[in-house]
Structure 1
């Protein structure tokens, strides 16, 4: 009995591989259980030509069969396995030709039908005549695809997969067949390649399987690049649907996409992020100032093109509940509760707020000369209106709950006495500071600066862009100040180290990059640059130490102090400062309430102001009567406390109270204030004036009950 050489056939490309090979030589697929192909060795073949070194095996028809394991040419199949290959069954879902022993389809894992498909041709049936000539498997496979493609199909509206006419559900996403969906006869020219069909099946199978299980969030790399990927993903999905729909629907989708703004794309990306478990897309939408309670419209649902996930009227909270995103749900509910509970002027008057933003963007100028820094030409200071005191006490309490951040106010006043610690300033001089509620996004510093001046947020990142441009154009000036200040600060704390110039440059490049990224946290250098953009001093009243949620001290904050526009000429700047509060990585605007300028508010000093000017006295010392630090001083400006006090008097309107406290005067005038800001505040105050009769009526009823 002659020795047999055993080969195994690849289930993907039907290539006959040598017994020792683990992977297919052609397609590199792993070896699976398949038909065994046997052939006699070349040397023991009875028909071997003795003049040849070896004689290739021959088929029943006498033609030689070459099997070259290392060849890139497509092999021919031996006649001994022709019948078995011809008996392959075609998958009803993806038309892939599977081996007779396979129970499921190798490509889409679909169950093998119990009976032969009615659309199967006689060539693929089990009762076929014997084949005596070798067949090309690839040609037969291509013919089978062409034959199956020309059958009646219907297109799934969710995943655009071509399904058989007899199927009631989509083979990929299990979406039921629409009642009005008729089978589409594909033209002969639309003959898709089997490779494309297999790739589409694998791609859609991965999407459907991924939507059922829990998906992992992508790494938090570059948020801006991630948002661009979401834009492309949404546009591609919309484009895929539009090609399958009629011309009218295509034009409608095109009109919808043209009307979409950047905020709308961010909202759609956030919706898709909730479904897929991507927290970065939700954070990007929040940092842009988007409304968490925004609902999906019919056009947006049509553009997203996933009816199984998105419905009209759904918000991010609805999607988080539907897909069980507990981590996102906690963040979204906290944001919704804060926005629902707060009612600040910029939220009440969106039209005026947009006009103010355009006014700020149009008024920005760049100084010509050696120091080309951007600056704002107007001196605007936001204060709470004095008409609040005319409201009933219950209405006043509601107003303060809406506009103030009670937690920040309590932390700055009680936990660490930073503001309103002086009875002389708070009571007799009526210079109490109020912490306005601010967004929790990474732009809290820029928002607080605009709140303290114009009463709005930096929603369009106008101030951030100005900050980046000023840092970039005046990099040499700010870099010199920053490097000198950081060197002195490290030595003053006993950190005797020196950095190479390359390390200084790397740190400075990081500071520049923070200014250009929306939502990125900012540092002391950025406050120093903002003082130059405003052309006025900035006083930061902040906690001295970083603390954990358990109250453990983690380190110094380094934010508290005075930031002066030292690189400008003093004659080019105003001496009226603004005040900011800092608590646990969050900035808030500290504003005062308008007063009538009575009762000798100058503490003995001659103010030379009329009754319309509000003067607020900001302490330049802490609760321990130590002078506040002045940031980013040069070597010749550094000195003892007397020299720093002299420097403060040069850049600010300073005076000394009767209690001997050095204070800076913040002056604001209703007549000199911007008219748009005044109009916005009046409209906001009218909301509380309308509920005054109800409050008065309830107070009167209580008085009547007491009289009885």
Structure 2
């Protein structure tokens, strides 16, 4: 039977309820004693009975507060006594500790600031307080824990409702789901505010958000807000939920926290968080569990079963997706010498730090005193073929090797160099953080990563202490480059200074991507040339060309005296915004493989021939030449012969000779490589036994 009569209007959602309704059908607010009464829609408005009109001076009625005092307040008095939230600019009452709208912490006024400052969240002049609003501020948080979300229409129903008010969907039997939904909704507000504050203070100059280096304590502190987020509601109602959250957190390990940080990093665009998880050996295919989704407190972003790849696709992180897909495609677990011998690796890092010195004088650049070149040991060829294949899968980056060899002939394109002269280059696997350039340089020399940022610090200090020298070269080179490509633009000195300041800032930020200028400075720190074999175009993971890379070429330490530098270069590979160390394999002195490989049998010298021309026989560019050094190819070839040990092969290829020696190599590096290789030597008996068993089975058959 249809109910007729005079309806009353809810002053919160303006929904017109039937007279018999004690609470509002829509928002579940208590019916006040002085509610606005209206007739049914088909009744004439002139026949309304008991209508109370709203005005600026009408009393404000709170839910469940019909017996509370009602205070009239003027508009001007309200504005003068309230304080403004520094995040959402909402005007809050003076006694509110947190913002009623966004729950952000109230800021206190500094002694030097004026209390009348608007929009700054400062403490304003005390004024009369509305007891109703004060009551709302204290109980705003409690309301959030008294609703459950309908799974069919997403309407928020009262906890006492047995079914959805809108669609009559029954209440879920699992009350934990209701508590989880209420806790997620309340705590996500705090998380959003924390992330908003982080975004405002950690934006880098190139428009990408980067996080500062995060220690173990910082990693755990970053997720304490997840646990505290559950305490937003009433203490009695959320006590059980908080207990569950604490239990989940106590079960979390360091790897679990890194995984959650990586998930948040994908959403926020923080690549360093993803790299931190990858470098710790985390599984890229790992899926979010229900407990982890509960800790993250962002149902709109995270869901059970999501992986880092799913999140990258959902939030359109193409750069991260390319890296993650590459990682997933490498089924073999990576095992490089630096991972097998952590004690020796730490000793090598200390040795590098001790060998770093600063040159006295006007050009106060840092430099290394030791000449070390990393090569793969020749003993690898003594291993059985299956073991060799396993070793190469774990130490090499197959995708980089394929892109540089097959997709575009950049390395190993000459059969003469790769076969007869035994100068094949191998791309070592490298972590894909923003430090990949520094890591690849130390891999090509000492065989380790720049984990302690020793090389980055030397790069930053050298750029600052010798800023005038490098700035002149950089400015002259960039001007010539723009003119040679027909761009015909000129910058004011202020613009040049701004671009240079950005280059300096990149050197000081761990995880920041580096540019050509930084490779030029690294050549001076190493005191030896650096040859970069790289792709010519930037491409997305879909294969779309985005622009020129400009990395391929030769970087000479032109600001040093030639007598102060070594002529043996190192080789790096560049693909998809990623650098990799390109190393050769040792040549046995008695084997006489490759011309010049047995230059000094007493010293076990290995010579690798690095081409100075591309596959089309065009000379590689020499970066950062001055106007006097620029010229035709003959002049540039002459310059290369002055700074490198060059020769021409029988096939007419101009090459540079990279010389390495076991005896002259650092003993710690040799010991690290031997210990790494012993792990594969121990696989030989198992392989031989399995082969013998197969032979016996064949004989029995």
User: What is the TM-score normalised by the length of structure 1?
Assistant: 0.62
Check if 1:286 corresponds to 2:275. Answer: yes
| TM-aligned CA deviation for residue 612 of structure 1 | 1.0
For residue 356 of structure 2, the aligned residue among 364, 371, 380 is 364
Q: Find the counterpart in structure 2 of residue 625 from structure 1.
A: 617
Q: Which residue is equivalent to 1:223?
A: 210
Q: Deviations over 1:134-178 (max 9, x none)?
A: xx99789999999xxxxxxxxxxxxxxxxxxxxxxxxxx9779xx
* C-alpha separation in 1, matches of 2:429 and 2:357: 29
Question: Which residue number corresponds to residue 509 of structure 1?
Answer: 501
Question: Structure 2 residue aligned with 1:309, among 288, 291, 295?
Answer: 295
Post-superposition CA distance 1:8-31 (Å, at most 9, x none) = 9998xxxxxxxxxxxxxxxxxxxx
Q: Is contact 2:261-2:274 (8 Å) kept?
A: no
Q: Aligned runs of 1:259-408 on 2, under 5 Å?
A: 268=257, 271=260, 274=263, 278-280=267-269, 283-284=272-273, 286-287=275-276, 290-293=279-282, 309=295, 320=306, 327=313, 335=327, 338=330, 341-408=333-400
Kindly indicate whether the alpha-carbon contact (under 8 Å) linking 1:382 and 1:454 is maintained by their aligned counterparts in 2.
Answer: yes
After the TM superposition, which residues 570-589 of structure 1 pair with which residues of structure 2 at under 5 Å, given as runs?
A: 570-589=562-581
2:187 counterpart of 1:207: yes
RMSD: 5.4
Structure 1, unmatched stretches of 5+, are: 1-7, 12-31, 40-64, 75-105, 109-135, 147-172, 177-201, 245-252, 258-262, 296-304, 311-315
Deviation at 1:345, TM superposition (A): 1.2
The separation in 1 between residues aligned to 2:388 and 2:596, in whole angstroms, is 32
Going from structure 1 to structure 2, the CA distance change for 1:461 and 1:497 (only over 3 Å counts) comes to same
Q: Does 1:499 align with 2:491?
A: yes
Q: Quickly say closer, same or farther: Cα 1:650–1:606, change in 2 above 3 A.
A: farther
Match of 2:631 among 629, 636, 639: 639
Q: Distance in 2 between matches of 1:514 and 1:614?
A: 36
Measured in 2, the distance between the counterparts of 1:606 and 1:322 equals 50
- Cα distance, 1:640 vs structure 2: 2.1
**For residues 66 and 426 of structure 1, what CA distance do their matches in structure 2 show?**
90
1:423 paired residue number: 415
1:629, distance to aligned residue in structure 2 (A): 1.4
Distance, in Å, in 2 between the alignment partners of 1:307 and 1:413 is 43
Q: Is the 8 A contact 1:211 1:276 kept in 2?
A: no
C-alpha separation in 2, matches of 1:488 and 1:333: 38
| Partner deviation per Cα, 1:260-304 (whole Å, 9 max, x = no partner) | xxx96x974762563797444574252586415289xxxxxxxxx
For the 8 Å contact 2:267–2:311, the answer to whether it is kept is no
Pair 574,209 (structure 1): closer, same or farther in 2 beyond 3 Å? closer
Partner of 2:345, secondary structure, is helix
Residues 272/564 of structure 1: CA separation in 2 closer, same or farther (3 Å cut): closer
8 Å CA contact 1:654, 1:665 repeated in 2:
yes
> Shift of residue 392 of structure 1?
0.7
Deviation of the 1:658 alpha carbon:
2.7
2:47 is aligned to none
Q: 2:71 and 2:433 mapped to 1: Cα distance?
A: 70
Secondary structure of the corresponding residue to residue 372 of structure 1 = coil
> Which residue number in structure 1 is paired with residue 474 of structure 2?
482
**Equivalence for 1:188:** none
From the superposition, tell whether residues 701 and 560 of structure 1 become closer, same or farther in structure 2 (CA, over 3 Å): same
Question: Could you give the per-residue CA deviations for residues 538-572 of structure 1, whole angstroms, max 9, x where no partner exists?
Answer: 01112233345555544432211110000111111
Say which of 517, 526, 548 aligns to 1:556. Answer: 548
Mapped to 1, the partners of 2:383 and 2:308 lie a distance apart of 44
Distance 1:308 1:542, change over 3 A: closer
On the 8 A contact 2:587/2:597 being kept in 1, the answer is no
CA contact (8 A) 2:191 2:225 kept: no
Measure, in 1, the Cα distance between the counterparts of 2:188 and 2:486. Answer: 60
Structure 2 portions without partners, runs of 5+:
1-8, 13-33, 38-50, 55-69, 80-99, 103-127, 139-173, 236-245, 285-290, 297-301, 315-319
**What CA deviation, in whole Å up to 9, does each residue of 1:386-406 have, x standing for no partner?**
110110111111111111112
Q: What secondary structure, in the 3-state scheme, does the structure 1 residue paired with 2:524 have?
A: helix
Query: For 1:437, which of 381, 406, 429 is the aligned residue?
Result: 429
1:541 counterpart (503, 525, 533): 533
* 1:613 pairs with one of 605, 619, 631: 605
- Who is 1:685 aligned against? 677
State how 1:232-247 maps to structure 2 within 5 Å. Answer: 234=223
- Classify 1:230/1:703 alpha carbon distance in 2 versus 1 (closer, same or farther; 3 Å): closer
Which range is displaced more, 464-473 or 330-339? 330-339
Alpha-carbon separation, structure 1, partners of 2:135 and 2:326: 60
Question: Is 2:58 the counterpart of 1:69?
Answer: no
- Structure 2 Cα separation of the partners of residues 410 and 140 of structure 1: 71
Deviation string, structure 1 residues 326-378 (Cα, Å, up to 9, x no partner): 75897768647748522111222222222222322333211111011111111
Normalised by the length of structure 2, the TM-score is 0.63
Report the alpha carbon displacement of residue 236 of structure 1 after superposing the two structures with TM.
6.5
- Residue of structure 1 equivalent to 2:642: 650
- The 8 Å contact of residues 275 and 319 in structure 1, kept in 2 or not, is answered as no
**For residues 509 and 414 of structure 2, what CA distance do their matches in structure 1 show?**
39
Alignment: residue pair count? 535
Give the deviation of 1:71 after TM superposition: 6.9
Q: Sort the Cα spacing of 1:690 and 1:71 in 2 relative to 1 into closer, same or farther, 3 A.
A: closer
Task: Describe the shift of the 1:699–1:290 C-alpha distance in structure 2 as closer, same or farther (beyond 3 A).
Answer: closer
SS at match of 1:663: strand
1:604–1:342 Cα change, 3 Å: closer
Larger Rg: 1
Change over 3 Å in CA distance of 1:33–1:457 after alignment to 2: farther
